[in-house]
């Protein structure tokens, strides 16, 4: 992965919504990070069907859960998505 991009992985229903298992996104030039809510909005703009997926899907940055505000815990500090990060979009699977 090149150093000015973000790798996005789509699992389960997110893969259905986007039609792809993963993609590489570039961050607008001049910046090296993006806030999590803005990043989610970028993904939804790119793949409108993700909007429904994000009503339940969780987000993991480099295999660490963050909420849709980018926080690890309530009241905690927000993290941002940075170049070189890997972001996973994980909707709950309910079947069995």
Q: Which residues bind another protein (CB under 8 A)?
A: 11-12, 21, 52, 55-56, 58, 60, 63-65, 67, 72-74, 88, 90-96
Take residue 19 and report the two structure tokens written for it.
């039609």
CB of 4 or CB of 21, closer to another protein: 21
Minimum CB–partner distance for residue 27 and another protein (Å): 23
How far, in Å, CA of 30 to CA of 92, rounded? 35
Take residue 59 and report the two structure tokens written for it.
């987000």
How far, in Å, CA of 1 to CA of 76, rounded? 30
CB of 30 or CB of 73, closer to another protein: 73
């Amino acid at each position: 992965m090149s150093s000015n991009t973000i790798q996005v992985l789509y699992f389960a229903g997110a893969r259905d919504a986007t039609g792809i298992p993963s993609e590489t996104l570039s961050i607008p030039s001049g910046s090296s990070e993006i806030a999590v809510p803005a990043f989610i909005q970028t993904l939804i703009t790119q793949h409108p069907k993700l909007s429904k997926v994000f009503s339940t899907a969780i987000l993991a940055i480099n295999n660490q859960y963050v909420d849709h505000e980018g926080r690890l815990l309530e009241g905690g500090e927000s993290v941002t998505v940075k170049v070189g990060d890997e972001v996973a979009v994980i909707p709950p699977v309910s079947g069995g």
